[in-house]
Structure 1
Amino acid sequence: MSRLIVISNRVSKPGKSGNQGGLAVALSQALRESRGIWFGWSGEVTDHFTGQIGFAEYDGVKTATIDLEEQDVDEYYNGYANRTLWPLFHFRIDLAEYERDFEGGYNRVNQRFADCASPLIEPEDVIWVQDYHLIPLGQMFRDRGLKNRMGFFLHIPWPPTRLLVSLPHHSKLVSSLFAYDVVGFHTEEWLESFRHYVEKEMGGTVKGDTVTLGDRTIEAVACPIGINAQAFAKAADSDAAQKMHRQVRASLQDRALIVGVDRLDYSKGLEERFNGYARFLKDHPEYHRQVVLAQIAPPSRGEVESYQQIRATLDALAGRINGEYSDVDWTPIRYVNQGYPRDQLAGIYRAARIGLVTPLRDGMNLVAKEYVAAQNPDDPGVLILSRFAGAATQLKEALLINPYSPEEMSDAINRALDMPLDKRKQRWRAMMDSVEKQDISWWREAFTSRLMNAQGKTGLSGKETVG
């Protein structure tokens, strides 16, 4: 049996499986089954890069990690990945920063990944590279003579051609994807944007699931990621979840809870969400003192200026809304800048009458699926979901809205609060069926089955990197 080699920016630390996300759990299962290796950055910074690999093993999963220099982190991670590619791929061209040093750092770290990981890879191994941090890594492996089957999965949106062409050396970045055998996206929309770019900008051809550029043909597929639905539903019945549920309900004093759970990021539409909720409070004074919005937003990427700005904006906006509408025993927004373990989150989800998931753009958004999975089948809540989240293509029974419209959000909140039990149960059941059918195991197996059947490639001629 071929080993699976998973390569990602960060590696889930051994010993933390109880709080691992769904992706980490799914990849860990695949790695155990294939005796594979998970390779990536340790998250630690070193004064001088040595390429020394730290090996660890926990619960049958072997990990291999390297430390990076501070300059690497600044240019590759905080720079090109999160100040160039992330905003551009989320359609925020106004926030994208194009600096040559960022580009150079991105290539340098990908080269370091290739140099360090190559000696660990055996001829029959199957390589699966994860996400936008490592787009050119496959071509760098080909440059080093690796002929293994290789796949790449993009966990964020693929931007329209008219935006992608604003990226310096965009064609070299896209060309490097043709070193892989299978390239995956969450939705047909992101896949179609990729196909359009290859056809219109590069003169490639599309036939079914195959995309050809010159003498290279790859499979490009839509394969939406899921969650471990049964495990999350079970977590919602755990002691920790039930304790959190009781605490939340007791604090609400019979008020309806609206919950949002998002990393603090401008793509999540938090400012628009607060404004939409404020519009609801303005439009529906009869619900004053009857509802509470709890927004859980753990900070992220604090070194990046745009993230500092969004945090300051939300702090001010929450304060203004609470100042305008609060009473001595009611605060309409509970704004929390910390995260919670998954079992406690499940309890919070179950306590909420409404799950408010309104990103401006999202590759998938697993919070929407987690909210559905955590609901009490006998008294489920209502999911309000942005039509610009990848999850909207699967969870059609949610109340789908335009997150840019405060009026639509206000109307949806009112509709959700007024929705009778039979309608809530009907909508929830349809969404839960989808979440259970296309779960995290389905996603992993759907992608890896294609990858395992790939023939393996020799790569493009020459050294194609970004810049």
Structure 2
Amino acid sequence: MNSRLIVVSNRVAPPQEGRSAAGGLAVGVFDALRETGGLWFGWNGDTAPEAKAAKLEARGNITYATVTLSRKDYDQYYRGFSNAILWPTFHYRNDLARYDRQEYAGYLRVNDWLARQLIPLLQPDDLIWVHDYHLIPFAAALRNAGSRHPVGFFLHIPFPMPEILRTIPPHAALIEALCQYDVVGFQTRTDLQAFTDYITRYAPGTVDRNGVVRLHGHALKAAVYPIGIYPDAIANAAQRYSHRRPVTSLRVYLQHRKLIISVDRLDYSKGLIERFLAFERLLQNAPELHGKVTFVQIAPPTRTDVQAYQRIRGALEGEAGRINGRFAQLDWTPIRYLNRKYERNVLMALFRAAHVGYVTPLRDGMNLVAKEYVAAQAPHDPGVLVLSQFSGAADELTDALLVNPFDSAQMAEALQAALSMPLEQRQARHCAMMRALHSKNLSVWLNAFLRDLQRTAAH
């Protein structure tokens, strides 16, 4: 790629955090930039009485350009409109959404301010790749500030069907702003279909066979670009870190027991309560498993100042305590629920040690944990992935045990099947899923999106 790549995301993982960042966006962006080089622009995670302009730091072939938000910006743009309206609605939880006009105004204001901070850092031939729902109006803000650079947008989370999207009061303005990009990418065909349905039914706009969307005189390409991983690198990390203390301590604790593992941010979209209840049903239906299986749920806290997240943490702690109180023995605790972060490579080693990967979000754009769990497995004795049909990863990992996370009986049955699955069947499923991971790895995602953005720029 001859042009310099400019990546824009709400949060920029500082250089020292790059390798341990656990979020799908941070991992994908860091690995992509490490491959191409370029500039990563966004918020540094700090707040101050007044917003602060971009500070630059070069590490290897990546330059980090990070800004500090004011507390008002944080409250309105991030904690407000982005995570009180867009996040719940795009995850089909509009019952949890809370709209405030001033917060929407703050969302637009911060996008405009961020665009004006980026403009002085740009070179004429740069390609700009913007990531996720916090920055839907960013292209329009760049255009208003005078930029004519090619700008692409990738949505990491689901895109809701029109009837859900229209519950957001400024939905029409959001879609008009989204259509200021040159390329808009989605994780799945379902997300793309929801977007084009809105365009043709409510915008009104047109969509041709090649995915070219036209709205208010602007043309853009809309397509599916499922984000991937580097499976071989994850397999190597899982082996290299298998002797780290958290992994060896877990093995000592488990002794002869089988391990079910889940790793998620503490979020209501992840189906954590439903997951706990399905595990309880497993123990209720299969008393022969008592003392022989342990479920480890790692859920680092996130957005701790948002009330909905405080409630989910309290509910999970209550359910874990209740289930353990019901089934625990003197030498066995059924659920080990951990509210803490682990380095990403250590997580890969923990995945390798687990007999079952339990990944059951209620709705998810992709869910890289599912892919990472598969890649981390030992090919000669792999574990089994139990995966929600409402995750983007389910489109590719069809040899997982696919479940409906709203059906606790089905999930309990899938867990029991996973724990008792014969070796030959586990190996066949793992081999098929690894083929899928290699065919759509992170480089495929990166190259496909940037190729389309460059083609758009050429035209």
Q: TM-score, normalised by structure 2?
A: 0.96
Aligned partner of 1:359 in structure 2 is 361
Render the CA deviation track for 1:97-143: whole Å, top value 9, x for unaligned: 10112101111110110111112122221111010000000011111
Among 49, 52, 61, the alignment partner of 2:51 is: 49
Deviation at 1:33, TM superposition (A): 6.3
Which sections of structure 2, spanning at least 5 residues, go unmatched?
Answer: none
Q: Distance in 1 between matches of 2:301 and 2:259?
A: 22
Q: Distance in 2 between matches of 1:330 and 1:29?
A: 39
Q: Check the 8 A contact 2:400/2:429 in 1, yes or no.
A: yes
User: What's the RMSD between the two structures over aligned residues?
Assistant: 1.6
Tell whether 2:63 aligns with 1:62: yes
Q: Distance in 2 between matches of 1:146 and 1:439?
A: 32
Deviation at 1:191, TM superposition (A): 0.4
Pairing of 1:33-432 with structure 2 (within 5 A): 36-50=38-52, 52-208=53-209, 209-241=211-243, 244-432=246-434
Report % sequence identity. Answer: 47
Q: How many pairs are equivalent?
A: 456
* Amino acid across the alignment from 2:6: I
Q: Check the 8 A contact 2:242/2:350 in 1, yes or no.
A: no
Q: Distance in 1 between matches of 2:441 and 2:32?
A: 14
Q: Distance in 1 between matches of 2:243 and 2:60?
A: 25
Instruction: Identify if the C-alpha distance between structure 1 residues 272 and 66 changes in structure 2 by more than 3 Å, giving closer, same or farther.
Output: same
Deviation at 1:49, TM superposition (A): 2.4
Q: Distance in 2 between matches of 1:264 and 1:32?
A: 28
Deviates more, 1:264-273 or 1:14-23: 14-23
Deviation at 1:35, TM superposition (A): 5.2
Q: Distance in 2 between matches of 1:456 and 1:312?
A: 53
Q: Distance in 2 between matches of 1:46 and 1:283?
A: 53
Deviation at 1:308, TM superposition (A): 0.3
Q: Check the 8 A contact 1:355/1:371 in 2, yes or no.
A: yes
Q: SS state of the match for residue 293, structure 1?
A: strand
Q: Distance in 1 between matches of 2:95 and 2:19?
A: 39
Render the CA deviation track for 1:217-259: whole Å, top value 9, x for unaligned: 1100111001121111100110455654433222112111100
Q: SS state of the match for residue 12, structure 1?
A: coil
* Amino acid across the alignment from 1:63: Y
Render the CA deviation track for 1:51-110: whole Å, top value 9, x for unaligned: x22010112211111111011111111111111100000000100010112101111110
Q: Check the 8 A contact 2:241/2:346 in 1, yes or no.
A: no
Instruction: Identify if the C-alpha distance between structure 1 residues 338 and 122 changes in structure 2 by more than 3 Å, giving closer, same or farther.
Output: same
Instruction: Identify if the C-alpha distance between structure 1 residues 427 and 242 changes in structure 2 by more than 3 Å, giving closer, same or farther.
Output: farther
Aligned partner of 1:464 in structure 2 is none
Following superposition, which runs of at least 4 residues in structure 1 exceed 2 angstroms of deviation? 15-18, 20-36, 239-247
Q: Distance in 2 between matches of 1:37 and 1:367?
A: 26
Render the CA deviation track for 1:318-339: whole Å, top value 9, x for unaligned: 1100001111111110001011
Render the CA deviation track for 1:28-61: whole Å, top value 9, x for unaligned: 46546665211111111121224x2201011221
Q: Distance in 2 between matches of 1:25 and 1:328?
A: 40
Instruction: Identify if the C-alpha distance between structure 1 residues 325 and 32 changes in structure 2 by more than 3 Å, giving closer, same or farther.
Output: closer
* Amino acid across the alignment from 2:379: P
- Higher relative CO (CA 8 A, sep ≥ 6), structure 1 or 2? 1
Which sections of structure 1, spanning at least 5 residues, go unmatched?
Answer: 458-467
* Amino acid across the alignment from 1:105: G
Among 440, 443, 446, the alignment partner of 1:444 is: 446
Q: Distance in 1 between matches of 2:21 and 2:213?
A: 35
Deviation at 1:20, TM superposition (A): 3.8
Render the CA deviation track for 1:280-327: whole Å, top value 9, x for unaligned: 111111111111110000110000000000001001001100001111
